[in-house]
Chains A and B, each alone.
Chain A
Amino acid sequence: MSDFLLSIRQLAVQVEGKQILDGLDLEVRPGEVHAIMGPNGSGKSTLAHVLAGRPGYEVTGGEVRYDGQDLLALEVEQRAAAGLFLAFQYPVEIPGVSNIQFLKTALNSLRKQRGEPELDALEFLDSVKARMAQMQMEEALLYRGVNEGFSGGEKKSNEILQMLVLEPRLAILDETDSGLDIDALKRVAAGINSFRREDRSLILVTHYQRLLDYVKPDYVHVLQQGRIGRSGGAELALTLEQAGYAQGAVTETEAEAEQGRDRDG
C-alpha cells in the first residue's frame, strides 16, 4: 500500500480525437498542496475534468489510483463519495434548485453512499451558515437557485463553500482564482487555507501565480504538451511569473525533442 492518496501514471487523454494529455505522471500525498500551472491549452482543465469524471474525455492510456482504487472505473458520484471534489472554473447555474437544497441533497447523498445517517436539518443549517459567514457570503444566496444570477466572485466563493461543507479528502480547484478581484481572491484563499489539514490534499490548477501568494503550495508542476514538464517547490511559481512559461519550464524545442524520442522508442 503506497502512502499516496492520488497516483497518476502515464495518463493519456483524447478529446474528440485530439491528444490533450500524453503521459502525465503525478503523485499526491495526504496533506499536500500541489499547484498545476501551464499555458492555455496545455491540458490543465482536462486533467481536472478527467479526475472528476466529466463525460466527453477518452482515456487512451495510463492509470489513476485514488486511495487504492482505480479512480477511472468509478461513476462520477462514487468519486465524490470517495472524497474527491472539483471546484469548477465555470460553476453551473441551476434555476429551480435552491443553493441550500443543493448542499443538503449533496451532503446527504454522500453520507448515504458512505453508509452514514442523514444530518439533522437544524445542525446542518447552522454549520452552513457559519461557513458562509467565514466566506463573507450573504445568507440570501442560500435561498437563490444554485449560482443563479451570482456574480463571478459569488460563484467562486460558492464553490469553496461547497468544499468546506462537503469536506472532501482531495479537492481539485480549477482556475478558482480567475476573474476575481483582489478582495475576492483573499476571501477565497482564506477559505482554501482553512480547509487545509494533514489528511486533506489540494490540487490548484491555475494559470497565474497570484493565488499562490495566498495559498502556499508544497509543489508546483508545469504542464506542457500534455505532461508535467517541470516540477519544483513554491519558488518555481515565482520564476515562472518573472520569466514566463517558455523559460521556466522545458523549452519548446526540448519538449518536442522529448516527444520525438518517445515516438521513436
Chain B
Amino acid sequence: MAEGARLIDTPCWTDLAGADLPWLRLHRLQAFERLSAEGLPARGDEAWKYTLLGDLGERRFRVASRAEDEGSEAGSSRPYRPQGHRILFRDGRWIIQGSTLLPLPAGARLVSLREAIAQQDPLLPEMLGRIATLEGQPFAALNAARFDDGLLLYLPEGCVLEQPIYCRFETDPTEADRVSFPRLLVVMESGSRAQLLEEHLGANGSALTDLLVEISLGEGAQLFHGRLFDSELGDRRISGIHVQQARASLYHSFALMLGGELCRNDLQVQLNGEEASALLEGLYLLDGRQHLDNHLRVDHRLPGGRSDQFYKGILRGHARAVFNGLAVVHPDAQHSDARQINRNLLLSTGAEVDTKPELQIEADDVKCSHGATVGYLDQEQLFYLRSRGVEKQSAQALLTLAFARESLQRLPRGEFTDAYDQIVTDALAGRIVSRPEPSPDTRKVSDE
C-alpha cells in the first residue's frame, strides 16, 4: 500500500490514467510546475486569507486504489434514487456498480474520464485544461497535476438531455487522510441543454476532495448546475468551477451548502459571447464551527451580457462564511448587466460573515449593482407575526425559512427542486430550537 504523501510532493506519474499520452503528461507537468512555483496558499495570500487550511500542506494524504474503491461497501445512508443518470464517485472514482446511465441521444457522450482517456477521446486534448485558469488557483493546479478519473459530458449541437445527470461524491468514512481529485469536463455545443447535479456526501473528517470542473457552453446552450453539500458532509471540499460561455448561452449555478468542515468554492465564469447570461446563486446554512468560502468571478467580455450573483446565508453557532464576488466588465462589454447580492442572517452572536461584493467596470454604458447585508431577524416582521398570534419560536422559524425561500424560488422546476426545499426545511427545523436570542440590532454593510 502506498505511503501517504504531502499535496505538493511529486505525484507518481505512471499511476495516473493516460500516463503514456504526451499531451496529458504535458498538461499535468505544467500544472505541477505552477503548483511547485506558487505553492499552496500561505497566510498572507489575499484570496485565501480567511480560508482555514490548517496543516493541510503538511499532512500526508493517501489516494485510494481502484480496487479499494470498487470493493468498498462504505457510503452514505442517504438513498440515491432520483430520476435521471446517476453516477457515483467514491474517493473521486467513478464506481460502475453504483451508477446507472439512461440511454443518451445520438452523438452525446457521458463516460468516466478514465474511460475517455483510455479510448483517446479526441475532445480531451482539445478541451481538457483549456478552460480552467490555473493562475492563482493552487487547488485547480493540484487537481490538474494529479487527477485520475472523473467525468466527460459531451452534447452535440441541439442535443437536449431530458433527464438530469446526478453525480454523487462520497468519501470512504473508514480511511483517514484520504485525498481525491475528481475532474469533470462538460462540453456543450450550440443549442444543447442539460442539468448537472452534484451531491457531496461523506462523514470522513480528515478527507480532502479537490474537485475541478471545466464547462464550455456553445451558442445558446443552457446548463443548470446544482451543487448540494449535504448536512451529513463532515469533510473538506475544495472546488474550482471554470466556465466559458459563447453567445446567448445560459449558465445557471445553484449551490446549496449545508455540510462540510471546510468548504471552498472558486467559481469563474467567462462571458465570451454577446448576450450570455450567468446566474450564480447560492444558499448556505451553517452551524458549529463550519467554514465556507465562496469566491466568484465573472468576466463580461462582449456586449449585452448579464450576470447575477445571488448568495444568501443563515449562520448560527460559531460558523463562518466568506463571500467574495467580483464582476469585471471589460471595455468592449457595453450594455452589460451585472448584479451582486449577498445577504446573511445571523442566528447567534458567535457566527461571522466576511462579505465583499466587488465591481470592476471598464465600460461606460452598463447597469451594475451590488449589495451585502449581515443582520439578525427583522424585529418588525417578528412583531407583526406575533401580533397575529404566531408564537415567537414559530415566527422565528417562519421568517428564517422565508429568508431561505427567496433563494429556493430561483431554482428551475425539477425533482431536485422539492428535494432541495425539503432539505432546507428539515435543516432549519432542526436548527431553530430554543437558543439565546440574538441582539435585535441589524448591521447593514451596504445595499444597492
Q: Which A residues are closer than 8 A to B by beta carbons?
A: 52-55, 75-77, 79-81, 85-86, 88, 91-92, 94-97, 102, 105-107, 109-110, 113, 145-146, 162, 166
Contact = CB atoms under 8 A, between A and B. Distances in A.
Contacts of B381: 92, 94
A221 B185 CA distance: 75
A96 B387 contact: no
30 contacts: A52-B387, A54-B383, A55-B383, A77-B389, A77-B391, A77-B395, A80-B389, A81-B389, A86-B387, A88-B387, A94-B402, A95-B406, A96-B403, A96-B406, A97-B398, A97-B399, A102-B388, A105-B385, A105-B390, A106-B388, A106-B390, A107-B389, A109-B389, A109-B390, A109-B394, A110-B388, A110-B389, A113-B391, A145-B402, A146-B384
Given A94-B385, A102-B388, 8 more contacts: A52-B387, A55-B379, A76-B392, A80-B388, A92-B384, A94-B399, A96-B405, A110-B389
A80 B387 contact: yes
The 10 closest A-B pairs by CB, nearest first: A96-B402, A80-B389, A106-B388, A110-B389, A76-B386, A92-B384, A96-B405, A109-B389, A97-B402, A77-B386
A75 B387 CA distance: 9
B389 A94 contact: no
Interface string B169-200: 00000000000000000000000000000000
Contact of A76 (B383, B394, B399, B401): B383
A105 B398 contact: yes
Contacts of A85: 387-388
A99 B387 CA distance: 15
Nearest to A94: B381
B401 A53 contact: no
B408 to A, nearest CB: 9
B380 interface: yes
Interface string B396-429: 0011011111100100000000000000000000
B41 to A, nearest CB: 37
Interface residues of B, number: 25
Interface string B63-74: 000000000000
A109 B391 CA distance: 7
Given A94-B402, A97-B402, A166 B387 contact: no
A77 B188 CA distance: 55
B74 to A, nearest CB: 39
Nearest to A91: B384
A92 B392 contact: no
A96 B401 contact: yes
Contacts of A77: 386-387, 389-392, 395
Contacts of A91: 384
Interface in B131-178: none
B384 A106 contact: no
**Candidate in B386, B392, B401, B404 with the most chain A CB atoms within 10 angstroms:** B386
B409 to A, nearest CB: 8
A37 to B, nearest CB: 23
Contacts of A94: 381, 384-385, 399, 402
Nearest to B402: A96
B388 A162 contact: yes
Interface in B361-389: 379-381, 383-389
Contact of B402 (A80, A88, A95): A95
A166 B405 contact: no
Interface string B245-259: 000000000000000
Contacts of B394: 105, 109
B334 to A, nearest CB: 31
A166 B388 contact: yes
A76 B380 CA distance: 13
Nearest to A97: B402
Given A92-B381, A94-B381, A76 B402 contact: no
A92 B405 CA distance: 18
A97 B398 CA distance: 7
